[in-house]
Structure 1
Amino acid sequence: MSAHILLIEDDQNLTELVRYNLEQEGFKVTCEADGEDGLLTAIEEAPDLILLDWMLPNLSGIEICRRLRRENITKNIPIIMLTARSEETDRIRGLETGADDYITKPFSPKELIARINAILRRIRPALSGETLEYAGIVMDTASHKVARDGTALHLGPTEYRMLKHFMENPGRVFSREQLLDSVWGNDIYVESRTVDVHIRRLRKALNIGDTPNIIRTVRSAGYALDKDI
């Protein structure tokens, strides 16, 4: 499954260079050139990783990073800062604000892709294998079999897709609208409350015996697969 990268960068030439190289590697890429637009897109789409320029129109990269870390939906999304600032104090400031990595311009596309892949392997090992595992739940994506603590689970097609999406992004909070887009698709109209019905079905299927409920409801935000409830 290809990862979705959001690039927030106002240099058009650099944007096209980065977009081209990321798409060649199979990534889905969304680009924004304005700070406020970039922040809104990050919250609405919850990408897998954000490439964030330091100096942006209307809202700085540092302020975007700070705000993203305050939102439940985006607080765990990895952020790589892209900047011409090379001073150690600037790098420290970026990292302390919540960035996961920092790359100084000019940089090579190969180095950027290596940094991206390193972060994605760390936070989403699901991207590199056919078996997903989390908190005793094992999903074989090749055979579509799911088990929890060794007991086979029987899931409907929608519950399976929903669980797969959660297991690819453990700990991430998704709104109903984001789950609709990811599980049902952008082209299918489904009432947002339908998500609640399938969440209940998924919980019922997962909660066998005395196993704890690990589908967390986050008030006014959405749902997450989280063993530390």
Structure 2
Amino acid sequence: MAELAGLEDSKAREVNERHGDDHGVNLGKLRALAKRLKTQHELARELWASGDTAARLLAILVCRPKAFGDDELDAMVRQARAPKVQDWLVNYVVKKSPHAEDLRLAWSADPDPVVASAGWALTSERVVKKPEGLDLAGLLDVIEAEMKGAPDRLQWAMNTCLAQIGIEHPGYRVRALDIGERLQVLRDYPTPPGCTSPFAPIWIGEMVRRKDAM
């Protein structure tokens, strides 16, 4: 914890806080520290229990993902209020867990929109990598009905799922494009030069173009 405190940088905190993350540690330096520590699961548990955002990010990098039980992961996602912590927890830990599918189903329907967004992130992963058994039409029904009025983080996760359905599944592409055009979610999202807009119709169109060009 003392070493993490020593990595505090005011400019890094300013950038991180603009994205809702309450810490001031450069992520490159955090990864370097994790590389030095290597996997230490019990240390990861202690770091997580501290409640400190930088410590929790470090915990995610040094933990053993498959060592967490489903109840433990459920508690962690409910504690992970900082966007970067939730993002890393889902992508670096939960996706590697044998409990990922059970948690996806439970979280997607959770009344807490932050928890539900984690469920939708896992669903997007399945849309791309293991779509067998998914009701893609049903997912589009839910997105069409609920995405427009969803809180920001849940809206973003639903929009990602919409885009991935449109990109990966040609049979649903026209409907995905239509939903995106009608709902106009993230239409005016500021996008840096050289980056693809998160607005689903633009995102789908660009990624399909790249696939076709390969």
Compare the two structures and name the one with the higher helix fraction.
2
Compare the two structures and name the one with the higher strand fraction.
1
For normalisation by structure 2, the TM-score amounts to: 0.28
For normalisation by structure 1, the TM-score amounts to: 0.27
